[in-house]
Structure 1
Amino acid sequence: MGTLLPKMPPQTLYVTVRRDELQRLREERDLLRQQVNALSLQLQQAQASDKPTLS
């Protein structure tokens, strides 16, 4: 059995981000969201075309 360590309180990490970096990150986030939406739509279409139709 291992030794028990006392639980440490969570630490807060402060980060400074420049406005231009923040803007670039937001643009990248928006682009990634668009890509996820497009891929989700393609997946739905592929799954719909693979389902056999009931007659």
Structure 2
Amino acid sequence: MSSLISMKNIGKEIAIKLESVNIDSPEKLIKLGAEKSFLMLKESQTISPNTIHFFLKS
């Protein structure tokens, strides 16, 4: 998680949710992109209004 939270606008809560869908590094997040990552979170039902706001601002 530490490498994810070093990214701009990613805190502990979002990092934990990203890791729950196997996005565990900045490289994976960048490679997948905001839209795909968002859809993975949405499908896993770990998404919250704060997470939606983050992805809309990306």
User: TM-score category by the smaller chain?
Assistant: under 0.3
Q: Which has the higher helix share?
A: 2
Normalising by structure 1, report the TM-score: 0.26
Which structure's CA Rg is the greater one?
Answer: 1
- TM-score of the superposition, structure 2-length normalised? 0.25
